[in-house]
Amino acid sequence: MLPGLDVNHLLLCVSQIPLENKSIFSGSLFQCLEENKKWRSRFLFVPDTYNINYYDNKSAYDKHLPPKGTINCAGYKVLTSMEQYLDLISSSLPGVKAKVGSAPYLKFPFQFPLILWHPYARHLYFCVETEKEQQKWLAVLQDCVRHTNDGLSEEHKVQTPAFTDTVRLYRQAQGHFGTWEMMCGVPSQILSNLVMDSLLPELRELISPRLKGKLYERQRNWMLISDAVYSLVQNQCQTQYEAVVQKCEASRSSLEASIRTDMDQIITSKEHVTNKVKAVVLPKAEKLLKVSIEPYISSILDALMEPTSRGFFEVRDVFFRELVDMNLSMNIQANFSFTPPQHMEKISMLAFHPVKMQSCYEKVEQLSLEGLQQRFDVSSPSVFVQRAQILMRKVPSDSPDSLPPSVQIGKLSPDAFEISKKYSRVLFSMGKFDYDSSTVRKRFFREALLQIFIPYMLKQLSPSCDCSYGWLIFEDFSRFILVENIFEEVVLHSVMKDIMMGQFPNLRGGSREISKQRKEPPEKSQDSFSTVIYTLQQKSFSKSPPIRLSPKTESSGLFYPKNRDLKMQKRI
């Protein structure tokens, strides 16, 4: 994380998700047992933590027995074919090329595998009987990976940014300035990934020539060795990290006292050093910005905007269809047992349903920065893909909060027409969805630009601007003022203002384009929306009174493009 930029927390930190005491998914599938290579049916339960608990069967779960094991999906990839798996195996162990037609690495009882692959940890093998089940579990497992990869909790306002800054500075000292796929999981996992990143090549060079036996035996033995080393590293990192945290907490009070006493002098000293650094860095930063960055902004924005916007539009369609289905189903259930809170809970949980949201996630997975990755040292677009997917899930989960209190708590008239009338107003929460979606997308694009450009600028400017100003800082203040951080702040603020305020011509155009996509004339959108509801009522409930939107309700404003409404009519 870069100092002085609070918005960057959004790419590394996540707020709490309102899923307390709720399950994400559960079901049965086959798992390969590592000890004897036999397949057994397992019951998997995914709680609100997204750590997968697996049991021998569902009855063991119903009896509240402890799980056979728990899977933390941070750093994993979900594969659906042996071709994908063998490609990754071959890349992880050079000199050992695996072919699909060769002796089988693993025999699956059915032709629909699901493999959890990790660059360091043990791989996990699952299997299902049908392609439909495979797609369902693929969505579930990818959702678990997506959530556990989404950064550190922002509950710790000081500890989290301090940790991420430390990891970033360490990687920069090793010459790695760009994004990093393995910045995922809890601190001990991130530190373990950092250690393994440098240790694994040495370990591979030492162990690989000594691996004997058939091809699949060498592959399996290498995976077991890597997993054993990774577990050992994790245990040591966890112990040492906890010791460092305790040491920092113990010295916190004395540091705070020193800062309070010398605050004015610390600020004055930092400003003096900052001015010295600015005099050297700013001219070079502005030149680099104009020559090497501005020409590429349009290409990067295009690569980011198209798949991301398609994903958000798909979320809107899914959310819209669910609201319409809820509205219509209430007419059927009005004369029977009907509990509005159940419907509202279903809507509020829609964004966390991995299967229903899968079509939305697939849209943004088409994001590609091909041709730009090498130039700007972006290891993979997956960092941006997963962040966009998390934001896609967050927007609809917030929309039910805007509903009227009477709708949220279920205080509705038992009359079928009144229920339909009030719940039709629920659909106008889509107006808030559109506004939130546009705001979130623009913020995401700007933050992504910063994540791409700032590391590149630091890498380019570090050799020429490596000036020593440490002698300007009093020794007593050296714990609070770091020249490296001041240098990064100067580089950051040289570009941050323009990007966050949309001063780049290409960024302004991109922002306008995003805004235009949802700003249709209200009267046209309302007429089209009313037509959809009326048509649905006439088709499905010819004997029930049609839903009429009152002038007061219509004036509240639902901005839904007319052509998309026509598509909705055809789809339904």
* Residue 78 pLDDT: 96
User: Rounded to whole angstroms, how far apart are CA atoms 93 and 219?
Assistant: 8
Phi, psi dihedral angles at 412 (to 5 degrees): -120, 155
Under 8 Å between Cβ of 456 and 379: no
What pLDDT is recorded for position 98?
A: 56
Locus of tokens 């089209």? 528
What pLDDT shows up at residue 395? 78
pLDDT at position 551 is 34
Q: Which residues of 102-243 form beta strands (DSSP E)?
A: 112-117, 124-128, 152-153
State the pLDDT at residue 268.
87
Interior/surface letters 209-219, b for 16+ CB within 10 angstroms, e for the rest: eebeeeebebb
Alpha-carbon separation of residue 200 from 29, 177, 229, 444 (angstroms): 33, 20, 9, 34
Distance between CA 550 and CA 376 in Å, rounded? 54
Alpha-carbon span 207 to 201, nearest angstrom: 10
Backbone angles phi, psi at 383, to 5 degrees: -60, -45
Spell out the residues 6+ positions from residue 450 whose beta carbon is closer than 8 angstroms to its own: 2, 5, 7, 8, 492, 495, 496, 499
Q: What is the DSSP string of 141-166?
A: HHHHHHHHTS-EETT-TTHHHHHHHH
Where do runs of H (alpha helix) occur along 251-373?
252-261, 263-288, 294-333, 340-349, 358-364
For 349, counting Cβ atoms within 10 Å of its Cβ (0-12 exposed, 13-18 middle, 19+ buried), the class is middle
Exposure string over 274-297, b if 16+ CB within 10 A, otherwise e: beebbebbeebbeebbeeebbebb
Q: What is the pLDDT of residue 8?
A: 36
Rounded CA-CA distance 1/452 in Å is: 13
| Sign, Cα dihedral of 478, 479, 481, 485 | positive
The DSSP output letter for 470 is G
Which is nearest to 201 in space by CA: 174, 161, 173, 167?
174
Residue 550 sits at φ, ψ, to 5 deg, of -65, 155
Instruction: Give the CA distances from residue 103 to residues 81, 210, 217, in Å, rounded to whole numbers and listed in that order.
Output: 16, 21, 10
**Residues sharing a CB contact under 8 Å with residue 567, sequence separation 6 or more, in sequence order:** none
Note the pLDDT of residue 19: 64
Cα separation, 170 vs 163, whole angstroms: 11
pLDDT of 556 reads 32
Q: Which residue has the tokens 């058939």?
A: 214
What is the pLDDT, as a whole number, of residue 18? 56
Residues with Cβ within 8 Å of 167's Cβ and at least 6 positions away in sequence, in order, are 183, 190, 191, 194
Q: Angle CA(436)–CA(440)–CA(443) in degrees, nearest 5?
A: 145
Tokens of 391: 């934001």
pLDDT tens series, the chain, 572 aa: 444 333 333 333 333 445 667 788 999 999 998 777 889 999 999 998 899 999 999 999 999 999 999 999 999 999 999 889 988 888 877 665 555 555 456 788 999 999 999 999 999 999 999 999 999 999 999 999 999 998 787 777 888 888 998 999 899 888 888 888 899 999 999 999 999 999 999 998 898 888 888 887 888 888 899 999 999 999 999 999 999 999 988 988 888 888 888 888 889 888 888 888 888 889 999 999 999 988 888 888 888 999 999 999 999 888 888 877 776 766 555 544 445 556 666 777 888 889 999 999 999 998 888 777 778 878 788 889 999 999 988 876 665 554 444 444 344 444 555 555 555 555 556 677 778 888 889 889 988 998 899 999 999 988 766 657 667 777 777 778 888 888 888 998 888 877 766 655 555 554 454 445 444 433 333 333 343 334 434 433 333 333 333 333 333 332 233 333 333 333 33
Q: Which domains does the chain have, with CATH numbers?
A: 1-250 (2.30.29.30), 299-471+498-519 (no CATH)
